[in-house]
């Protein structure tokens, strides 16, 4: 999808896939502008978080005024929880996923996440990778190519890969591929950069909602590490673990975790 700068396509008024894609794309464009302003370190991280969050809040309020929002950078007091928990439609947003990588130009492994939860399920989502000029979305899901690797590849965090994934890699004879943003790791499976992303130990709903929506639309397997469904718009937004992988790897990964847990 291509968009005129600053103007949502007319179909966005009725098509949530198009709106999610546009929102993630324009927020990513704003982040590229912030990145070009010459800031460094924490100043750059903070400026990016604020700029993308403020823009997304403004645009959602303008184009979907009756919907609730859950954003990493937004307030989450008791009133906000009541509002979104009683809402039938909630936008789950991470304005800048991979803040560390964003602050390290020219790294491209950072993203913008925009997902829509409706009546119990994720129904639309988009993950923009602005430094690549790409926005992956549920309206036109990625076509996952056959794996080009002789060995499975597992995406892991650059800074805090869970220890059990090393044991999992030995079990599967897999290669570990470190990278930044959770969204980038999930989409790496759809892009045949990796074959699986397995994580445990510290994420929230906004870290995975949009990437999981896109991955599921592309036909990839998604679940908690024990194989149970990923649930969103919960009172407690802590959602610490997930599996996103090619379907043929799902049973082996889930069975490994059931046998060994995530403390290895």
Answer yes or no: is pLDDT of 14 > 80: yes
How does strand 221-223 pair with strand 121-129?
A: unpaired
pLDDT of 160 higher than 80: no
Query: Residue 253 and residue 26: Cα distance in Å, rounded?
Result: 36
Q: Please give the domain boundaries of the chain with CATH numbers for all domains.
A: 10-137 (3.30.540.10), 153-260 (3.40.190.80)
pLDDT in tens, 37-85: 999 999 999 999 999 999 999 999 999 999 999 999 887 665 566 789 9
| Alpha carbons 144 and 153: distance in angstroms, whole number | 15
142: enclosing H helix or E strand? none
Q: What is the pLDDT of residue 77?
A: 60
From the CB of residue 216, how many other CB atoms can be counted at a distance below 10 Å? 18
Residue 119 neighbours by CB distance under 10 Å: 10
Residue 157 has what pLDDT? 85
Predicted local distance difference test score (pLDDT) of residue 76: 65
What does the pLDDT look like over 208-252, one tens digit per residue? Answer: 999 999 999 999 999 999 999 999 999 999 999 999 999 999 999
Rounded to an integer, the average pLDDT of 103-107 is 95
pTM here is 0.94
Contacts of 99 (CB under 8 A, 6+ apart): 45, 48, 49, 110
10 contacts: CB under 8 Å, gap ≥ 6: none
Identify any residues that bridge with 91 across adjacent strands, giving them in sequence order.
69, 116
pLDDT the model gives residue 177: 95
Residues above pLDDT 90, as percent of the chain: 83
If pLDDT is split at 50, 70 and 90, which confidence band does 7 have?
confident
- For the stretch 140-157, pLDDT in tens is 999 999 999 999 999 998
């Amino acid at each position: 999808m291509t968009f005129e700068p600053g103007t949502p396509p007319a179909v966005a008024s009725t098509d949530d896939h198009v709106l999610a894609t546009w929102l993630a794309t324009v927020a990513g464009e704003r982040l590229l502008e912030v990145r070009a302003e010459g800031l460094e370190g924490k100043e750059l991280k903070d400026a990016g978080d604020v700029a993308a969050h403020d823009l997304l809040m403004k645009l959602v309020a303008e184009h979907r005024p009756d919907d609730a929002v859950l954003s990493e950078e937004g307030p989450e007091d008791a009133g906000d929880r009541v509002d979104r928990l009683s809402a039938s439609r909630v936008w789950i947003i991470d304005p800048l996923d991979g803040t560390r990588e964003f602050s390290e130009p020219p790294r491209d492994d950072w993203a913008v996440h925009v997902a829509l939860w409706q009546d119990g399920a994720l129904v639309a989502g988009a993950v923009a990778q602005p430094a690549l000029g790409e926005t992956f979305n549920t309206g036109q899901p990625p076509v996952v190519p056959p794996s080009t690797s002789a060995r499975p590849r597992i995406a892991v965090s650059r800074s805090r890969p869970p220890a059990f994934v090393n044991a999992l890699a030995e079990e599967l004879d897999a290669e570990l591929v470190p990278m930044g943003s959770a969204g980038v790791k999930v989409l790496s499976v759809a892009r045949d950069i990796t074959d699986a992303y397995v994580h445990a130990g510290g994420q929230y709903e906004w870290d995975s909602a949009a990437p999981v929506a896109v991955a599921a639309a592309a036909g990839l397997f998604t679940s908690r590490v024990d194989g149970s469904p990923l649930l969103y718009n919960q009172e407690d937004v802590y959602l610490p673990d997930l599996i996103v992988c090619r379907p043929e790897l799902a049973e082996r990964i889930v069975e490994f975790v059931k046998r060994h847990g995530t403390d290895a």
